[in-house]
Amino acid sequence: MSPQQPTMVTHAVLVDPPRPGLVLSDLVATTPLSDVEAADLYAAMAKDVLRAAERSGGELLVNYRDGGTLPGEYADADSTAEAEVRSLATRALSEPGDARFEVQVGSTPAARAGNTATHLLEREDADSVSILDPRAPTIERTDLDGAAMSLRRAETVLGPAPGGRLHYHGMTEPIDFDGAYDPPELATAARRAVEAGHGVAFAPMHPVVTTGADLATLLSTIEARVVADRPVPEATMETLYDLDLRVRVEGGRRRVERA
């Protein structure tokens, strides 16, 4: 199977409404952060990912969870979830009117990603699609543009994250998404791509923040970028500064604590 020659990537950022307790619950369990602080950090990271997508050469699709599909106590029949995500995006983007907003469809992350990608590729004839995790704030415009170039040579491009996870999943043709993000997500998605006859390429690694260990990696990465005078995720760095966090090494293990 020969790859297409994409002229533009549609970047779909799958965003939950940044509600305390709904987002980053594992981070709260493994760090000093409260539910409210974790929700603020989620919103900041999502802003940086949206900005990177906006600055790239592609089209931005903000793919949000509908309030009625959220779990348990976070379900919202009045669907203020869309308004919350639109507000977040409006504050993040320089031209929010240029972004598309569409509701996610599906009962699992893989199903929601698959429905979005398949709809864009098969119903809207998009050249290529990327699924972006809003918890990977260090991804930059240059990463996305480089991945778009890779999609000229391979049908699938995967962006690894520590722990065998994914921060980026680009494709020019759909795969079988049923269980495609079962752990380890990177290897599972690669296997599905190969089974579909795709060539597979890889983008640079970026942390996806869900636990204290991930946050320690992010804090160290941002510190290194500041020292080296390299670009940093501005909204995320500002929020982390306000939270007054640091990485402490104790017994060979890294953990996040208040400074």
DSSP code string of 5-71: --S-EEEEEEE----BTTB-HHHHHHSS--HHHHHHHHHHHHHHHHHHHHHSSSEEEEEE--GGGS-
Q: What is the pLDDT of residue 4?
A: 46
Q: Is residue 78 very low, low, confident or very high in pLDDT (cuts 50, 70, 90)?
A: low
- pLDDT at position 7 is 58
* pLDDT tens digit sequence for 155-180: 999 999 999 999 999 999 999 999 99
Segment among 33-37, 39-43, 254-258 with least mean pLDDT: 254-258
Helix (H) or strand (E) holding 92: helix 81-92
Output the pLDDT for position 250. 81
| Cβ partners under 8 Å of residue 177, min gap 6 | 110, 111, 113, 114, 115, 117, 118, 192
pLDDT tens-digit profile of 186-209?
999 999 999 999 999 999 999 999
- Identify the structural domains of the chain with CATH numbers, from first to last: 9-207 (3.90.550.10)
- In single-letter form, the type of residue at position 19 comes to R
Greatest Cα pair distance in the chain = 54
pTM: 0.95
pLDDT grade, residue 66 (50/70/90)? Answer: confident
- Asked if 172 and 3 count as a contact pair (C-beta separation under 8 A), the reply is yes
In this structure, what token pair is assigned to residue 68? 């009625």
User: Is the pLDDT confidence value at 233 over 70?
Assistant: yes
Residue 69 has what pLDDT?
Answer: 78
pLDDT of residue 169: 98
How far from 120 is each of 11, 23, 106, 146, CA to CA, in Å? 10, 26, 15, 21
| Gyration radius of the chain's alpha carbons | 18
In this prediction, residue 1 carries a pLDDT of 45
Q: Which residue has the higher pLDDT, 69 or 37?
A: 37
